[in-house]
Amino acid sequence: MIREVIVVEGKDDTVAIQRAVEADTIETGGSAVSEMTIRRIALAQERRGVIIFTDPDHAGERIRKKIAERVPGCKHAFLPRHEAIAKRDLGVENASPDAIRAALAQVRTEMPSAHAELAWADLAEAGLTIQIGAAERRNRLGEILGIGYCNAKQLLKRCRMFQIGRAEFEAALARLDEQEASEHSVTGMEGERQNEQAFD
């Protein structure tokens, strides 16, 4: 049984969560989070703690931000977009039990801003801002760090919010670079095989 109460958007999300883990949920009922729902979340945070687990889309991010502003100290779980897609729908309800458990194993706690170890220049140097392929690199880095997909500005903010320091950031970058190098190696080998077949 997970101690914290998990905040989701709707009934289908609750069903998906309870297929994966034993947990209580609070449903926001969509993006217009009512004052009563905020009070329930605040009470749950005070007594048991809260994990915000909204859909990995713009509406889900708005809900996450609204709750986090009103109820400080919540934990956050992020689901990679590719784990949340079914047909043209994007949501927690589409995720497999394994994907949900993996996201909950990587929860992050929002902390008061301390001294920031990372700066915009660090993101730029890592190819995470305006370079070609930056969005895909941010997406993958967000998965490795367990903080979800975000634009460059949000990425820097989340690193600070969740107190991700330089060592953790650089370790995640190293994993990302290894993944990309491995993929390029496989792509290169396939290209060589195709060239060999063309000359056979």
Going from N- to C-terminal start, the domains of the chain cover 1-110, 115-199
What is the reported pLDDT for 32? 85
pTM above 0.75, yes or no: yes
Cross-strand bridge partners of residue 26: 7
How big, in percent rounded to 5, are the helix, strand and coil portions of the chain? 55, 10, 35
What is the reported pLDDT for 194? 56
* Whole-number Å distance between alpha carbons of 113 and 160: 6
What is the reported pLDDT for 200? 55
Instruction: For the domain covering 1-110, report its CATH number.
Output: 3.40.1360.10
Residue 145 pLDDT more than 90? Answer: yes
Cα–Cα–Cα angle for 6, 155, 4, rounded to 5 degrees: 15
